């Protein structure tokens, strides 16, 4: 199915399956009668001023999944305990925000998840991966708000294919800036689980947690030769007297979709090159990118302080999806790095 085509049958199925008033599970009844409790159970405490309609929509966002073309509640979701995605981390995933209900940079995400699945030996037919219109239909069945969506593909087990499912989450409030702590990369170059988005993501999470324990927002990984790689959940861009640059994707880091978009379309030149850690003292500006938050300025790397410069702000205005409408609500995440 192309990005321009939509299946009326699928849209009807999404609406019917995602309508809590038409089903009878305990969670679906709670979505109607106790959405605040549903959100509280998911660790989300809402401000008092949110309209009841928005509260109910947010409860649907965190409770209803897209599973192979159908919307199902969490309490009806099942994955085989012997699925190799669970047992061995043999699975691929992608995440992005939506803009006007449609997933941002979705063709790039689909290309990457297909490539990742191929490297991991996961058999998934193209029609099982949702296109832009299918993602938008899923989001419309949940909420009028923009959200972040995550697409997952598991390997399955011998004789049985894995699952393809998608979840949504309330839009995070993007941080105004980020502080980075340099740390050695825990994985040597060329290992697929470092350069691809797989279910084996705990190492990246742990690195970010260690940086937070040191009083920083995220980690900046350094390779064995003392060169910059990436942040633990984002790509890094540095402005020096030579212009803008980002570390070369040479098997030591995960090249993101926003990074690709900037390198291809940026109104100012950005070069891929080796960036030694020693050059941080020359940096005038820096920022990190991922498809959930766009561009976030970097104001500190270890002991180096950086200003949020005009060039960074200009690139943010150029890249960033349209600003939230007056009726859009976002939640501020605490203690987490953008990813």
DSSP symbols for 119-188: HTT----GGGS--HHHHHHHHHHH-SS-EEEEEEEE--BTTB---EEEEEEEPBPPPS-EEEEEEE-SS-
pLDDT digits (tens, 9 = 90+) for 175-232: 999 999 999 998 888 776 778 899 988 888 899 999 999 999 999 999 999 999 999 9
In eight-state DSSP terms, residue 338 is: -
The CATH number given to whatever domain includes residue 115 is: 3.30.470.10
d(CA 273, CA 327): 42
In eight-state DSSP terms, residue 242 is: T
Residue 1 lies in a domain: no
| Same-domain pairing of 152 and 209 | no
Average confidence (pLDDT) over 47-76: 94
| Same-domain pairing of 208 and 155 | no
| Same-domain pairing of 122 and 182 | no
Residue 331's pLDDT is what?
64
Residue reference for tokens 């037919």 = 125
Residue 339 lies in a domain: no
In eight-state DSSP terms, residue 80 is: -
For the chain, the domain total comes to 2
d(CA 157, CA 172): 35
| Same-domain pairing of 110 and 204 | no
Which pLDDT band holds residue 260 (cuts at 50, 70, 90)?
Answer: very high
Strand, helix or coil at 95? strand
Residue 333 lies in a domain: no
The residue segments making up the domain with residue 155 are: 8-170
Residue 327's pLDDT is what?
57
Last residue of a domain, one of 113, 137, 170: 170
d(CA 34, CA 38): 6
The CATH number given to whatever domain includes residue 297 is: 3.20.10.10
In percent, the amount of the chain with pLDDT more than 90 equals 76
The reported pTM is: 0.88
| Same-domain pairing of 160 and 219 | no
Residue 73 and residue 28 in contact, taking contact as beta carbons nearer than 8 Å = yes
| Of the candidates 60, 151, 49, 164, the residue with the CA atom closest to the CA atom of residue 103 | 151
- pLDDT over 70 at 326, yes or no: no
| Same-domain pairing of 57 and 155 | yes
């Amino acid at each position: 199915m192309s990005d321009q085509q939509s299946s009326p049958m699928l849209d009807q199925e999404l609406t019917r399956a995602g309508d809590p008033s038409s089903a009878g599970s305990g969670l679906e009844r709670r979505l109607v009668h106790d959405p605040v409790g549903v959100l509280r159970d998911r660790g989300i405490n809402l401000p008092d001023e949110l309209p009841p309609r928005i509260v109910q929509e947010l409860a649907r966002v965190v409770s209803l999944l897209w599973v192979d073309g159908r919307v199902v509640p969490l309490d009806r979701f099942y994955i085989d305990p012997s699925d190799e995605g669970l047992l061995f981390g043999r699975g691929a995933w992608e995440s992005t925000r939506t803009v006007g209900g449609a997933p941002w940079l979705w063709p790039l995400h689909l290309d990457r998840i297909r490539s990742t699945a191929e490297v991991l030996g996961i058999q998934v037919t193209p029609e099982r991966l949702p296109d832009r219109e299918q993602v938008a239909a899923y989001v419309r069945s949940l909420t009028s708000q923009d959200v972040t969506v995550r697409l997952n593909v598991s390997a399955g087990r011998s004789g049985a294919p894995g699952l393809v499912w998608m979840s949504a989450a309330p839009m995070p409030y993007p941080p105004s800036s980020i502080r980075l702590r340099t740390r050695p990369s825990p994985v040597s170059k060329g290992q697929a689980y470092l350069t691809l988005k797989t279910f084996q993501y705990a190492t990246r999470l742990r690195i970010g947690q260690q940086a937070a324990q040191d009083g920083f927002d995220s980690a900046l990984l350094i390779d064995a030769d003392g060169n910059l790689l990436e942040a633990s959940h984002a790509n890094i861009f540095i402005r020096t007297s030579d212009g803008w640059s980002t570390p070369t994707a040479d098997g030591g880091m995960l090249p993101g979709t926003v990074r690709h978009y900037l390198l291809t379309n940026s109104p100012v030149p950005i070069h891929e090159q080796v960036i030694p850690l020693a050059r941080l003292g020359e940096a005038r500006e820096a920022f990190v990118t991922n498809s959930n938050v766009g561009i976030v300025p970097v104001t500190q790397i270890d002991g180096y302080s950086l200003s949020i410069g005009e060039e960074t702000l200009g690139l943010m205005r150029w890249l960033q999806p349209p600003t939230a409408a007056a009726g859009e609500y976002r939640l501020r995440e605490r203690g987490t790095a953008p990813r």
